[in-house]
Amino acid sequence: MTNERRVLVHPDKEALAASVAARFLTKTIDILDDLGGANIALTGGTMGNAVLEAVNASPARDTIDWSKVHFWWGDERFVEKSSEERNERQAREALLDHLPVPPQNIHPFPASDEIADLDEAASVYAAELAAFAPDGQEFPRFDITFLGVGPDGHIASLFPDRSGIRETEATVVAVRDSPKPPPERLSLTRPVLNASDRIWLVLAGSDKASALGLALAGASYTEVPVAGAKGRKRTVFFVDKDAAVDVPETLIAPSY
């Protein structure tokens, strides 16, 4: 299948979250039918968590055999395990703690009170990826990778004009002096993200419009990281009307 980039516009944040949740449940059923298992990479942020809450609220939630699904994260704030800033904690509260997912199927990044050294923590997560990778590979096949987008165009914890967005060898990078607090983070690299079959970017609000417009206009991914997000099979931007004001009409797909 050739790579496709599509933009699906929704009237507001609530409709956006509900639509992505419904699509996620339907696609996960298809993936499990086709492949027998699934690897999902989660994101944090307001919309990322809103989608997980909508998944949890859906009557279709319990139609899925969650024992066959593995959950990962695209990035994480390097803070204590109990911190409310952790993407892992937010995802557990929004969805994962409500699902019959085996504990070994949930793969969070190390926390700062588990492994104090940031570089060591990056190495540990890289080893976790490799442990679940097909023979000869460094990381699993990701079926769906969720990404948020910052007003500056950053994805995961890969920021504009920083070394992380340029990294091509490592699977995980340690991020220091992040322009967005907290300063220390861990992130998958662009080659790992782009090896995903599907990248689903979920963004809302007028503050995201410029980054989205630049990405779709072909900006440099080192300057606007979201411009470099491209799944192997499909890349979908799920957006609300406020974020879509700079999107060319020719790129907007019919509503899902």
Measured distance CA(144)–CA(198) in Å, rounded: 5
For residue 197, the tally of other CB atoms under 10 A from its CB is 19
Specify the pTM.
Answer: 0.96
Check if the beta carbon of residue 16 is closer than 8 Å to that of residue 238.
yes
CA dist 66 → 22, 28, 41, 102, 118 (Å): 16, 10, 14, 8, 31
Measured distance CA(71)–CA(176) in Å, rounded: 25
The reply to whether 195 falls in a domain is yes
CA dist 142 → 15, 59, 164, 186, 254 (Å): 26, 25, 20, 18, 26
Task: Specify the pLDDT at position 179.
Answer: 95
The reply to whether 89 falls in a domain is yes
Can you tell me whether residue 240 is helix, strand or coil? strand
Minimal CA–CA distance to 126: which of 140, 114, 136?
Answer: 140
- Token pair listed for 10: 């929704």
Task: Specify the pLDDT at position 256.
Answer: 44
Minimal CA–CA distance to 115: which of 130, 104, 101, 125?
Answer: 125
Angle of helix 45-57 versus helix 87-94 axis, rounded to 10: 20
Task: Specify the pLDDT at position 251.
Answer: 79
Place of tokens 């139609």: 63
Task: Specify the pLDDT at position 255.
Answer: 55
The reply to whether 25 falls in a domain is yes
Task: Specify the pLDDT at position 254.
Answer: 67
CA dist 61 → 55, 88, 198 (Å): 6, 20, 20
Domain carrying residue 86: 4-251
182 exposed, middle or buried (CB, 10 Å; 0-12, 13-18, 19+)?
middle
The reply to whether 256 falls in a domain is no
Minimal CA–CA distance to 20: which of 203, 192, 155, 154?
Answer: 203
- Token pair listed for 226: 């979201």
- CATH code of the domain covering residue 96: 3.40.50.1360
Task: Specify the pLDDT at position 232.
Answer: 96
Q: Rounded to 5 degrees, what are φ and ψ at 22?
A: -65, -40
Can you tell me whether residue 29 is helix, strand or coil? helix
Task: Specify the pLDDT at position 246.
Answer: 85
Q: What is the pLDDT along the chain (256 residues), one digit of tens a residue?
A: 446 789 999 999 999 999 999 999 999 999 999 999 999 999 999 999 999 999 999 999 999 999 999 999 999 999 999 999 999 999 999 999 999 999 999 999 999 999 999 999 999 999 999 999 999 999 999 999 999 999 999 999 999 999 999 999 999 999 999 999 999 999 999 999 999 999 999 999 999 999 999 999 999 999 999 999 999 999 999 999 999 998 877 778 765 4
Task: Specify the pLDDT at position 185.
Answer: 98
53-56's contacts with Cβ under 8 Å and 24+ in sequence apart are: 53/17, 53/94, 53/95, 54/17, 54/18, 54/20, 54/21, 54/22, 55/21, 55/24, 55/25, 55/95, 56/94, 56/95, 56/98, 56/99
The total domain count for the chain is 1
